[in-house]
Chain A
Amino acid sequence: MGDLGYIALVGALALAVYAAGASLIGAWRLNGPLIASGRNAALGVTVLFTAASFTLLAAFVANDFSLRYVYDNSSRAMPMDMLMPAFYSGQRGSLLFWGWTLSIFTAIVLIQLRKPGAHSVFMPYVIAVLMLIEGFMALLLNVVGSPFERLPFTPPDGVGLNPLLYDEGMKIHPPMLLMGYMAWSVPFAFAVAALATGRLNSEWLRLSRRYALVAWTILGLGNLLGSWWAYRVLGWGGYWGWDPVENVALMPWLAGTAFIHSLQVQERRGMLKAWNVALILLTFYLSIFGTFVVRSGILASVHSFALSQIGPYFLGYLGFLIAGSVALFLWRLPRLREENHLDSAVSREGAFLLNNVLFLAVTFAIFWGTVYPLVAEALSNQKISVGVPYFNQVASPLFGALLLLMGIAPLVPWRKTTRAYLVRQFLPPVGTALLGTVAMLVAGMREPVPLVGFTICLFAGATVVVEFVRGVTARAHATGENLVLAFASLVRRNNRRYGGYTVHLAIALIGAGIVGSQAFQVQAQATLAPGQTMQVGAYSLTAQSLQTFPSAGGRTVEARLLVNGSGEAMRPQRVFFQNFDRQSSTRVAIRSTFREDLYIVLSAWDESGPVPKISIAAYVNPLVSWIWAGGLLFLIGSLAVMWPAPQPSVRTVRAAAPRGALVSA
């Protein structure tokens, strides 16, 4: 069965090369049939990647352990719902997944843009770029390591899936991250197409924006789901550890966030054309870098890089992409010379510029901290670690400044403004934030960092609420609709604006959750015999029992603890899987409320004595549920932004303009 997969991957490589070549030559020679042929070949690549992926899935279902990849990542005991995690758990499968999903994305783009139009001139180049990317993945899968590699004999059973991966979060966060990386290829392809054709007006940006938003949403969710998984499974009491793998997933999202903001300046004012192209190139490089880091382990040490087979390929490929696209960019730079004109630094444009500087600064700080151990080792042969304190100290002030800006920018109009107007705009949110500060002081909070942090989040959130209230009341006033209807039609008609505000509100929520859980986490450890009690924060935990029972694919060790002496029991577990006796999977017991999470980890146990002893690490994590609530709101807001705009129609404008309308001009 593996042979079919082999053939499909060789075919995908050949067809991708053909599609790229035919598209480029067709575009140069203005040869319509050749361009059409390239397009069809690109769709053929989708078919072949899909065939290869289904072959691998079928091999997993059939327990075909003659394939090394299936042998390494699955076993007969593996439940069927772990099929997809097994598929992308190893390097080869995840690269296949990456290429497969990109080929599907490519097909979607080609189908959406099948009718001739303003985009037609870009399409051959878009196809060529996407085929170069998919072709590279096919090359890796053919040359470096095929998921269809055969073992010399067929073992009776497989090694099994890594126990860490047995979790609900595993079914969704790795594919989201891989797709988040992959999806930035599409806006990148449009940017390169715009550079190649020299048509650098707003058309490419309009097309790019749509796909960039999809990539941005997927990658953002991937990051959130990843931290949700880490929080529930890794059992160290936190959700974000500034691990290299986390950092490289955050970086393209941050650079992409800069892009989706600055493109609005080009849409509105025609400024920043070159800058927007540069930003999307950067975001794509960071996505490839992320895929590469996740799949090569380079950042553990320079030496593991030498051992990693795909390391040199990825580095060479990244170099080729950067060199090629930067050369194109420099060649077209004269056409990107822009009429930049700023009426006032205190304007929405000015705020977006500052936003970009801050986003790039924080992206760079994270990049630098992530790669610096390698830099230091290469420069001075000295090993140093760059850990959590660095990232917290450098990134927190920058994120704080961004949150503050997020509260300010929506209140500042485009072009220029008057002082009186600004005062009127800022009074409600600033007043709310100050009231909140006073309330926190009265409640007895004295630590400066959370005080400032909460105040900023409150201000940013209040700005969104105030904007919503203004919009809804103005619309209700102008149209006579009731408030609910006014809200609905306001969002429907200005989905980009109010969807964006919803995302802002989500970020403010997440920010408050992070501030609260970082500043006020309480932690305690104890070793308890049944009947003994430990204290963590306001909770007392009484050990009850320790038991071991068989569970799916292995056995489970479970401790039982009573919270506050009441009937409520918490059951932290460790799960052992077949073939992984030395490695167990933590099942943290979490009792989550709006206010705080009680988080209990079974860290060790000892059954040698007459009574069992359990070692417990217990945490009280305030406001963590706010982060996940923010994640949900982030999804809602992003979907609202992406929702297709209503068809333009003739609208009747009533004589009475909404209040405050003319002041902003």
Chain B
Amino acid sequence: MGRLLPIAGTVLVLLALLAAPASAQQVGLDDAVRRIALQLQCPVCVGQTVAESNSGLAQDMRAVIRSKLEQGQSEREIMDAFVAAYGESVLSDPPKRGIGLGVWIAPVALLLFGIGVLFVLTRRWSRPTPSAFPPAAAVRTEQALVTDELQRYRDAYER
């Protein structure tokens, strides 16, 4: 699980927090840090973003984001710096290009395929099947009538 890794590097966070003035501006800064941290995958955890992880590294990374924001860097610049340092795997949102594109395309393709199959099947199954064997068809019609009647009775009873 690894969600609770050793509490190391907290001092940095403490310092950063103490340095920041407790004001409306800090609330804005908090949100900005969180917004960026949510887009970064904690490199030492499984399936957690930097915003959620309590690992030492994630806490350090949050402190770095905060200080860079205070220096006036933009979100773009900060993200680029992390990608340069850790590679693209640090992005929790896989990039929509190159190899990262595959993860986005396949589910959409499958959904469209499924809806396509559904459409075709619905059309095919809705067509009344022309029967080459009239006696059998006659029997089936009779059966269908019985089924219909039974169905109507069930519907009526249950509703």
Q: Which A residues contact B (CB, under 8 angstroms)?
A: 163-164, 234-238, 241-246, 299-300, 340-345, 350, 353-354, 357-358, 360-361, 364-365, 368-369, 372-373, 375-376, 379-380, 382-390, 394, 398, 413-415, 470-471, 474, 494, 497, 523-527, 534-535, 582-586, 603-604, 606, 613, 615, 653, 657-658, 660-662, 664-665
Contact = CB atoms under 8 A, between A and B. Distances in A.
Given A353-B121, A382-B88, A390-B94, A415 B52 contact: no
Given A526-B22, A604-B10, A361 B87 contact: no
A406 B151 CA distance: 23
Contacts of B121: 340, 353
What DSSP secondary structure best describes chain B's contact surface? Answer: helix
B138 interface: no
Contact of B48 (A243, A524, A583, A653): A243
Given A235-B54, A245-B46, A584-B4, 5 more contacts: A365-B107, A383-B88, A388-B49, A524-B27, A526-B22
Interface in B80-123: 87-95, 98-100, 102-104, 106-107, 110-111, 114-115, 117-118, 121-122
Contacts of B87: 383
A425 to B, nearest CB: 10
Contacts of A354: 118
Contacts of B94: 372, 384-387, 390
A243 B47 contact: yes
B115 to A, nearest CB: 6
B103 A369 contact: yes
B14 interface: yes
Among A380, A414, A665, residue most surrounded by chain B Cβ atoms (within 10 Å): A665
A163 B5 CA distance: 12
Of B6, B98, B102, chain A has the most CB atoms within 10 Å of the CB of B102
A661 B103 contact: no
Interface in B38-70: 38-39, 41, 46-49, 52-54
Contacts of A243: 1, 46-48
8 contacts: A163-B4, A237-B52, A242-B47, A342-B122, A387-B94, A394-B104, A526-B17, A606-B14
Contacts of A389: 38-39, 92-93
Interface range, B side = 35 or more
A361 B111 contact: yes
B71 interface: no
B142 interface: no
B38 A388 contact: yes
Contacts of A372: 94, 102-103
A300 B45 CA distance: 9
A398 B95 CA distance: 21
B13 interface: yes
Contacts of B91: 384-385, 387
Contacts of B148: 665
A473 to B, nearest CB: 11
B126 A384 contact: no
B76 interface: no
A357 B107 contact: no
B25 interface: no
Given A353-B118, A357-B115, A524-B27, A660 B159 contact: yes
A340 B128 CA distance: 11
B47 to A, nearest CB: 4
A175 to B, nearest CB: 17
Contacts of B102: 372, 375-376
A244 B110 contact: no
B110 A361 contact: yes
Given A236-B52, A665-B151, A387 B41 contact: yes
Nearest to A533: B22
Contacts of B155: 413-414, 661, 664-665
Contacts of A658: 156, 159
Contact of A236 (B3, B27, B124): B3
B126 A524 contact: no
Given A384-B88, A526-B17, A661 B156 contact: yes
A460 B106 CA distance: 29
A389 to B, nearest CB: 4
Contacts of A241: 47-48, 52
Nearest to B62: A525
B133 interface: no
Given A384-B99, A385-B94, A660-B159, A527 B118 contact: no
Contacts of B49: 387-388
A431 B84 CA distance: 53
Given A376-B102, A385-B92, A525-B30, A361 B114 contact: yes
A612 to B, nearest CB: 12
B152 A236 contact: no
A376 B34 contact: no
A493 to B, nearest CB: 9
B18 interface: yes
B4 A583 contact: yes
B146 interface: no
Contact of B14 (A300, A534, A583, A613): A613
B41 A357 contact: no
A474 B159 contact: yes
Nearest to B9: A604
Contacts of B104: 390, 394
A70 B13 CA distance: 39
A525 B151 CA distance: 61
Contacts of B89: 373, 383-385
Contact of B92 (A387, A471, A603): A387
Nearest to A660: B159
A378 B107 CA distance: 19
Nearest to B116: A357
Contacts of B90: 385
Contact of B118 (A164, A299, A357, A364): A357
A354 B148 CA distance: 24
